[in-house]
Chain A
Amino acid sequence: MKIKVKINGKWEEWEIDPSDYLLDVLRREGYLSVKKACDTGTCGACTVLVDGFPALSCSILAATMDGHEITTAEGIADEMDDYMKALASEGADQCGFCSPGLMVMVYALRKEIENGKVKKDEEAVKRYLIGNLCRCSGYLGQQRAIFKFLGVK
């Protein structure tokens, strides 16, 4: 079947199988920032935005995406320069496999904070990001960077 999606701002038409997951289709179409790490909706490495909200692409059927807007790390990286600088200057990016998914999530979190939906404090930020697992960093470096980026005191 064919679906139309608006991906990182431009419309594309994809030929998919009804049983395809969004993650596999995205990777097939060249959006390789989206990583397959657990494949059971438990790690956050495959996080993308669907209509502006974070979603785990390994757990969404691509067929349900017809007409929707999808954003991947590739689509937001240029807007997230300060975030990347903050993370890099903490040395908190290690293997980097969790990084694009985390960046998408932080991007969404910033919006939620701006809209007053999520409190701008340490606990709320940690809770929002709890689904993004990282096995290398121990999280603290990431948090130092994220708190700095979001201005969490």
Chain B
Amino acid sequence: MREVKKSVPKKDAYGLIRGKPVYTDDIAPRDSLVVKILRSPHAFARIKNIDASEALAMDGVELVLTYKDVPRKPITRAGQGYPEPSPYDKFILDEYVRYVGDEVAAVAARDERTAEEALKKIKVEYEVLEPVLDFEKAEGNPSVIHPEDDIFPQFDIGFDPKRNIAASYEMEIGDVDKILEECEKDPDCVVLKERFYTQAQAHVMLEPHASFAYIDMHGRLVIVSSTQTPFHVRRQVSMVLGIPIKNIRVIKPRIGGGFGGKQALHGEMIVALIAWKTKKPAKLVYTRREVFEATYTRHPSRFDVTLAATKDGKLKAIVYDVLWDTGAYGEHALTTLMVAGSKTLPMYNKVDGVRFRGKVVYTNHVPAGAYRGYGAIQANFALESAMDMLAEKLGIDPVDLRLKNIIREGETSPIFKIMGEGREGVEMIIKSCKLEQAIKRGAEVIDWKNKFRKREKNGSKVRGVGMAIAMQGSGIANIDMASAILKLNDDGSFNLLIGATDLGTGSDTILAQIAAEALGVSTDDIIVYSSDTDLTPFDTGAYASSTTYVSGNAVRVAAEKMRKLIIEEGAKKLGMSPEEVEFDGKVIRAKDGSKEVTLKELATVRYYTEDQKQLVADGSFVGPESPPPYAATFVEVEVDTQTGKVDVLRYVSILDIGTPINPNLARIQAEGGAVQGIGMALYEDVKYSNSGKLLTNNLMYYKIPSRLDVPDMHIEFLESYEPTGPFGAKSVAEIGIDTPPAAIANAVYDAVGARIKTLPITPEKVFFAMKK
């Protein structure tokens, strides 16, 4: 391998670091109308009257939209493949507002100040309704958050809005009740039942959501957006506004992070409608407060886990009973719920019985949506904490308990077939899995043998170690599709056109590396253009850890075809057969050394003089399976027994991501994911007032890790090769975030015997748990 497994700098690095104007707001037309949104002050209300006449009459106000001015068409903003597994329960603007921050009206004005003034002039009379703010009381609550009759799912997702249920799912393997019953009676068996809670987390990508739209010279609608899913944006805008897909172009410029938060549509429909109506460019850039108040959080959860095992540590059954809070709209409700099962249960594939029961309820909170980890992190905290508790109950070292029960190469799990994302999954034999090695190596690096239960004291501070393991996927099998086009230029360089969406992860670069490797050329000779629905081929988008594996494979296919084409055309030019020549990336040469033609010469004659034609190749890929990356994480913490404060001293994570296409970029993904996971474990927490108003609506109240909060970190990639991946690669985007909550909780227990089952692990909780 020459171009992959190589840390080339990101293609956009220098442009980004020096601050070139490349993000949505930087490139919006200067004369754009500025769009501002009037947002609900109530957690739940019906708009009795809305009068925008005074706002409209203001000088500089171009348009005001209320629910009366927009098409009433239910949609989902989720930004998923079609048909979406999320219910169509949202309208561009609606008569009901379902959380503090929900859209009431949109104003388009000459400038920001005028738009803000106009918002104040809109008169709204609300009928305030009783909100549902406790997700454990949502099901069957007399307050029905979605009373309207014109909402529906695309297929059966267990949707029951009249009972505040957005989605539900159940499955069972084996007779779980019988296994549990027998185990309870058997002296050689133990059963552990525990309840865990995980909180809402905010994405806090540094670039707020931004989009603008204009009408081009052909009368087509062009939308530029900081989106992770340009093709889904095009489809959804077309659907809701009734503009044919052929008349819409969506472009994603550079974007300032997403983490799932930009998978959905936030603003695109409004700017599109305003541009369409006024024929003027219109832009909407969210304030940080709006990003907190009116985009997405991670789904909060209540997680009941039951584990049954024999005394010698063989797991017999795993049972999940899950309650999920999707907030006001059901985006990603079913799929995050199912991922809680599908991306954790297969890790322990030797059990006799598994049961999963889950419900996703509506509440009057900020909607939950896609967020890195996507259900798996919630489940991981519950399962891996429970495994630690089980180990203690059995008197077995947690490392040994994992080693006894984990999945290994060549094995499978029935879960793969039963649980997909929103529907059935696909069968899969695991072809690459270094989980066992990861656990052993991690234990060695942290020095587990000499630290576990040693509780080293230093004044009021006590040290402890904890561990957790995780798996994720690589795209959504049989659903996510990506494609790529490669064309040869007359100097021998190539344009790589891909629908894939780089959100700052470096995917443009690693896809170029994959193309270069398959072609046998240098990555410098690949010019990447991505994420433009007019100019690049289809791609479902950047989510579900799909880009390296799914888009990467599409690029590999296109590049292999191009290589073949070059050899054929080169052979023709030399008057030989393709079998008689070889291509070294620069020169097509007769194998006997008799003659040769450079790629540049070949391209030049093909374009200008002989047998003229464009050399172009395409490739598409749908993952027949979704090979999981794995991680084993070990942490050492220090707990101050006087305050309950937890410091993570050392963080060791050993990963199997297959071949790291670009080891540096993979490392940063793993480190960045881990730090977000540490934030979730220790302090990040979306909080509301008693009336449902978001309290944590800026970066003073919502804390994300700073550089002083980052522990000493050891990230290591094991040698691993996934035969179905491009040059052996699997995904890396999400696996890093899953393990910190459980690993840290387990380490805190090891240090001071305080078992924290509700995230985040705040000093207060640790302090009081220690006193118990």
Judge: A and B partners, yes or no.
yes
Which of B13, B664, B674, B710 is A84 in contact with, Cβ under 8 Å?
B13
Bound together, the chains give a CA A103 to CA B26 distance in angstroms of 19
B23: chain A residues at CB < 8 Å are: 35, 97
Interface residues on B, range: 35 or more
Contact assessment for A95 and B708 in the assembled complex, using a CB-CB cutoff below 8 Å = no
B371 to chain A, nearest CB (A): 12
B15: chain A residues at CB < 8 Å are: 96
User: Which of B174-182, B202-210, B242-250 lies at the interface?
Assistant: B202-210
User: Which of B191-199, B252-260, B360-368 lies at the interface?
Assistant: B252-260
Bound together, the chains give a CA A135 to CA B10 distance in angstroms of 18
B710: chain A residues at CB < 8 Å are: 138-140
| A89 contacts chain B at the CB level, 8 A cutoff | yes
A100: chain B residues at CB < 8 Å are: 17-19
Contact assessment for A95 and B255 in the assembled complex, using a CB-CB cutoff below 8 Å = yes
Which of B206, B672, B708 is A43 in contact with, Cβ under 8 Å?
B206
| B704 contacts chain A at the CB level, 8 A cutoff | yes
| A98 contacts chain B at the CB level, 8 A cutoff | yes
| A152 contacts chain B at the CB level, 8 A cutoff | no
User: Which of A49-57, A60-68, A113-121, A122-130 lies at the interface?
Assistant: A122-130
| A33 contacts chain B at the CB level, 8 A cutoff | yes
Contact assessment for B19 and A138 in the assembled complex, using a CB-CB cutoff below 8 Å = no
Interface centre among A39, A103, A139 (most CB of B within 10 A): A139
Which of A97, A103, A126, A142 is B257 in contact with, Cβ under 8 Å?
A97
| A7 contacts chain B at the CB level, 8 A cutoff | no
Main SS of the interface on chain B? loop
Which of B12, B698, B705 is A40 in contact with, Cβ under 8 Å?
B698
B18: chain A residues at CB < 8 Å are: 33, 73-74, 77, 80, 84, 100, 103
Contact assessment for B19 and A136 in the assembled complex, using a CB-CB cutoff below 8 Å = no
B7: chain A residues at CB < 8 Å are: 89, 91
User: Across the two chains, which residue of chain A brings its CB closest to B664?
Assistant: A91
| A59 contacts chain B at the CB level, 8 A cutoff | no
| A37 contacts chain B at the CB level, 8 A cutoff | yes
Chain A positions 80-106 with a Cβ under 8 Å from a chain B Cβ: 80, 83-84, 87-100, 103
| B578 contacts chain A at the CB level, 8 A cutoff | no
Contact assessment for B706 and A92 in the assembled complex, using a CB-CB cutoff below 8 Å = no
User: Across the two chains, which residue of chain B brings its CB closest to A28?
Assistant: B30
Which of A42, A84, A97 is B504 in contact with, Cβ under 8 Å?
A97
Given known A88-B14, A143-B707, contact A97–B206 (CB-CB < 8 A): yes
Contact assessment for A40 and B206 in the assembled complex, using a CB-CB cutoff below 8 Å = no
| B37 contacts chain A at the CB level, 8 A cutoff | no
Contact assessment for A141 and B671 in the assembled complex, using a CB-CB cutoff below 8 Å = yes
Contact assessment for A40 and B664 in the assembled complex, using a CB-CB cutoff below 8 Å = no
What 0/1 readout, one digit per residue, does chain B (709-741) give for beta carbons within 8 Å of chain A?
010010000000000000000000000000000
Given known A42-B698, A77-B19, contact A129–B707 (CB-CB < 8 A): yes
What 0/1 readout, one digit per residue, does chain B (288-299) give for beta carbons within 8 Å of chain A?
110000000000
Which of A27, A89, A130, A138 is B672 in contact with, Cβ under 8 Å?
A138
Bound together, the chains give a CA A127 to CA B675 distance in angstroms of 18
Bound together, the chains give a CA A27 to CA B13 distance in angstroms of 22
Contact assessment for B707 and A95 in the assembled complex, using a CB-CB cutoff below 8 Å = no
Contact assessment for A94 and B698 in the assembled complex, using a CB-CB cutoff below 8 Å = no
B111 to chain A, nearest CB (A): 10
A79 to chain B, nearest CB (A): 11
B676: chain A residues at CB < 8 Å are: 135, 138
A residues near B (Cβ < 8 Å) are 27, 32-40, 42-43, 45, 72-74, 77, 80, 83-84, 87-100, 103, 126-127, 129-143
A-B contact pairs, 25 of them (CB 8 A): A32-B26, A35-B206, A36-B25, A36-B208, A40-B698, A45-B206, A72-B19, A88-B13, A89-B9, A90-B664, A93-B17, A94-B506, A94-B672, A95-B207, A95-B256, A96-B16, A96-B17, A98-B206, A99-B16, A99-B17, A100-B19, A130-B708, A136-B504, A136-B668, A138-B674
The 4 closest A-B pairs by CB, nearest first: A33-B19, A95-B504, A96-B16, A97-B256
